[in-house]
Amino acid sequence: MTTAPSKTAIEAWSRFIRVEHRLLDKVEADLKAAGLPPLVWYDVLLELVRVPGGRLRHRDLHARMLLAKYNLSRLIDRMSEHGLVARAPVDADARGAFIGITEAGRRLQKRIWPVYRRAIAEHFSNRLHANDLLQLANIMAKLI
């Protein structure tokens, strides 16, 4: 039997959700100010850069994404229109598709990272002590 969350647990949950939204909004604003696409584009490009061959099946890419508020098929369509990714058929699965990063996608991922890195530092890590970051990482590991 699951017990009801305490008042403290509910407050912690509420703060967690608010912080996530505010931090992502700040990162998005920094990317926009730099003339860069939304963070979810970086998320796709990063996952593709991380794998040998630079491609994943659509379903595997979906499972690896950090950001959840999107329709991946439409996102891939938009990124494909910009020449950042390309679809390729899966020989053994007529309905499946590989999503592969293009050279333009690799260049964009490298352009986005310095802005994203600065945003992480400015809005998150520079506001916490090293011990706080370690404790937070440990707490998040328990929840994962």
- Hey, is 138 helix, strand or coil? helix
80: domain CATH number?
Answer: 1.10.10.10
**pLDDT tens string 37-63:** 999 999 999 999 999 999 999 889 998
Residue 6 within a domain? no
Residue 106 within a domain? yes
Confidence (pLDDT) at 31: 98
44 close to 85: Cβ distance less than 8 angstroms: yes
Domain count, the chain: 1
* pLDDT tops 70 at residue 69: no
Q: What's 128's DSSP letter? A: S
Residue 96 within a domain? yes
Residue 8 within a domain? no
Put residue 101 in one of left, alpha, beta given phi > 0 → left and psi -120 to 50 → alpha.
beta
Could you give the C-alpha distances from 62 to 31, 42, 44, 73, 75, in angstroms and in order?
22, 14, 9, 9, 11
Residue 77 within a domain? yes
Confidence (pLDDT) at 116: 98
Closest CA to 102 of 85, 87, 77, 81: 85
Residue 7 within a domain? no
Where in the sequence is the domain holding 109, given as residue range(s)?
Answer: 37-143
